[in-house]
Amino acid sequence: MTTAFFVAADWLAEHIDDPEIQILDARMAPPGQEHRDMAGEYRAGHIPGALFFDIEALSDRASPLPHMMPRPEAFAVAMRELGVRQDKHLVIYDEGNLFSAPRAWWMLRTFGAEKVSILAGGLAGWQRDEWLLREGEEAHEGGEFEAKFTPQAVVRLTDVLLASHEKTAQIVDARPAARFNAQADEPRPGLRRGHIPGALNVPWTELVYEGELKTTDELNEVFFSHGVSFDRPIIASCGSGVTAAVVVLALATLDVPDVTLYDGAWSEWGARTDLPVEPA
């Protein structure tokens, strides 16, 4: 049976005590809101039973770049310590903007978890439906997780440089249009303005409505209007690899093949003065 990309709040409320379901809170502070204490917000109120999937802490701490994928062994150890079991149906949520849950979904899928869904509407939708929250930490037993890394899901700078130069793949940049078009500074210091030459801009917010992906027809129209072809390979990028996962998720729901994610994203490309940038 195929696991749904999304589950509704009422479905989760009905199945919240199901031993085959595990809930993960993947709330994350957007750029410019780094002062927020996300672990504290989790302790102040979360969906009962949810474990805190801290994307910042689960990223490669040895890398100078933000949110880079960790080594498979390190991720597996972290999941076991968190209490995650990859044989369960993992349900992820964020604060309701669909900003970070897709990144958690993508990380888990790329490391071998097969049954992963996102809570439609996130925490905001859960609260809107007046379901209860729980404070504090959640007691849990050790998890069971063996990472089965899918290397072809991730591309590196050299792959993107080749795609940009040789047009072997479409580069889809999920950042806001003002940043893509060099009309606004990046939220992270030291990065140039602009975009990878030849990239197409599909701002991630155009794919989302009230914490859920838009309808299939609407998603098709958004990608089509920005010049994206589903018949050619696609590399998703953004500022630091987080909202690129929204693009990957949207394309997955449309059953588009050959989609990868550039993990270094603009945090890597924009910091390099030896790489080309548009507008020049």
Give the residue numbers marked as catalytic: 238
- Residue 228 carries which side chain, given as an amino acid letter? V
Residue with tokens 């996962």: 245
Backbone angles phi, psi at 193, to 5 degrees: -85, 160
Residues 6+ apart with CB under 8 A from 202: 172, 173, 174, 222, 223, 226, 228, 247
Q: At what angle do helices 216-225 and 244-253 cross, to 10 degrees?
A: 120
Measured CA distances, 100 to 97, 206, 234 (Å): 8, 15, 21
CA distance 239 to 179: 9
